[in-house]
Structure 1
Amino acid sequence: MNRTEQLAKITLNLSEWQKLYYKHQQEYIRRRLEAIKNLHEKKTRKEVMEIVGCVEQTLISWIDIYLEKGLAGLVAPIRHQKPQKLNPEQKEQLKTMLLKQKPIDYGIDRYIWTGKIIEEVIKTRWNLELKDSRIYQILDSLGLSHQKAHRDYENANPEAQKEFVSTIKKLQELQPQDKLIFYDEFAVYDRPSLYYGWAEKNTKPEVPSNEKRQRQKLNGMLSVDAVSGEVYLQLQPQSKAEDVAAYLADLCQDSLQENCTKIDIVLDNNSTHKQKMKGLFHDYLVAREIDDKIEVNFLHSPAYSPDFNLAEYEIHLLRLQKLHHLPSTVTIEQIQLALEDVKYLMNPEQIFRTLEHIFRLPI
């Protein structure tokens, strides 16, 4: 029996595939998973090779792994058997470097240690060439992990979370002229951001910051379309109730130009999102003479449940993609310039998958 016949006899476990795809962020593992999924969807090998960008021999090797070991075999990490080039003393120096210093200390205008930057500094310090995949293995052996602290909200109401998920699922059944929007706010400063960094396992990295210096700040207001993934972003000096109301009125006016006649807007429970803001928002619609042209419904996400707001995921991506790798001497004007053309951070499929993740959050 050839490979194609063997594949045809296997039923792809989509639930397991989805979990593994979310769990493993490495591109080479995701390409393997996508290849097998596309083969199960009756695409030809040639089509799959074009989709994932591989040659036939590579695809055949993935098929063989899948046939022998299943999906678990596809996500097994690549282990390099090459001898280690860093001696024990150099490894300890590398660990100290990542914990105590920053790339800027080595003439690189960044605060974040990425694999490529570590690779560059190792080459400069010890005249050794290591691939970033090997570097990550060494860091794991040194007890380091790439992490950021997060809050654990103990006051969340499980029943409110269940009801919210149920409501969002119903609202997903949209008419062509309807929109489902998630909204949230964030702040940016001309100061080091709380980025991911290397730290001892079960600890968190510290970011040096001179808090006596006067800081400049901008408030970001971000909405994301829960179907298309389109982002609507404004940066303002303030984010009071009147600022939020004006932003949402702008959003509605622009949506009208796209022939949208109904918007459901998901907000969190910030004090600037309550009755005062909604009253001002209605006044803005009346002043623009569009209050009778578009229907707007507000829905509040459950209290103490930031993970249930799609906009939170967008803001996280925004910081990763646009802010975390800016020069260490960045100004507020440069930040504003970096964010001015943001339109999409996730495509529709990624939006759908993120919502599915939200629906499966433990309650």
Structure 2
Amino acid sequence: MLPPRNPDETLKARGADTRPANRFDRLSTEREHDGWDIPEETGLLRTEVTEERPRSIIARNRSPDVPFDRSINPYRGCEHGCIYCFARPSHAFWGMSPGLDFETRITAKTHTAELLAAEIARPSYRVAPIAFGTNTDPYQPIEAKRAIMPALWRVLLDWNHPASLVTRGQTVLRDLPLLADMASRQLLHAGVSITTLDADLARAMEPRAPTPATRLRMIRELAGAGVPVRVMVAPVIPVLTEPEIERILTAAREAGATHASTIPLRLPLEVAPLFRDWLHRHRSDAAAHVMNRIQAMRGGKDNDSRFGHRMRGEGIEAELMLQRFRLAKKRLGYSEVTPKLDCSRFAPPPAPGQQLALF
């Protein structure tokens, strides 16, 4: 059971409602009335951003069911506040709650461009696409002020280094000239996540993420600039968003998406109780139905973390969902082949004053 909301905090546009202890906490705390009748001072819970200068910026990954082996996440935590976010449990490693802390206590990594340039300049480095947005969104709201991403794109452009991007943050359009330049060299493809076309549901479920209409506009502008765009119908939530699979694919195709992917809802570790709590607060009439359908795809449990199963689910429910997705994708003319990124151009940028080669 989750702890009650702190009555001294006023929440505005937050996904979680409380701060459950993380799985590493040895102690738990409970609020107790002090016996005084003096009202406590209340205040709006605001986002806190701290800075960190990491020693490296490229994270390595050996998971057998993801299509990349390296990624960059400029931020830890995500202000979008999506209640189902599989990255929430990562906050526990830093002694914070995967609940409200995940969406209100954000860490911004500094000097990332310098770190990236140094890491890919090492003689031992072997080029392969770097994935952005694999854990938390690099274009979450605070990126509008922090502007970490443009410098990273410039480093990749200088070195002709390929990359992929997953986002739902509209600040990505600020960097459209850089992304278009990357795409013109076959160095980039982008994914835009659309969970629902229902603005009210999106506002409750993804409180600080752009509206569905804005995300369709993002697809349209990225595609118009020559960036290959994949619509990510993910996560698909049984009962709540599953009926929209075909509508989302249709709208995204009309906006210019050429590729599509999907993943059924995952509820790892602390995410499951947070999502259950959200259901009872926002969709209490459907809560039992939603969880029964989720468990039907996860072997009777809230989650199945096994490689090869976590991204697909299993059983009749999962197979029917995937068949619907595949049929709609084929009918709408989505490509089955993801654009191949060009690793052959990778090379150090010319030194200051160095003459460029003619051929």
Normalised TM-score (structure 2):
0.20
Between structure 1 and structure 2, the one with the greater Rg is 1
Question: So what's the TM-score if we normalise by structure 1?
Answer: 0.20
Higher helix share goes to which structure?
1
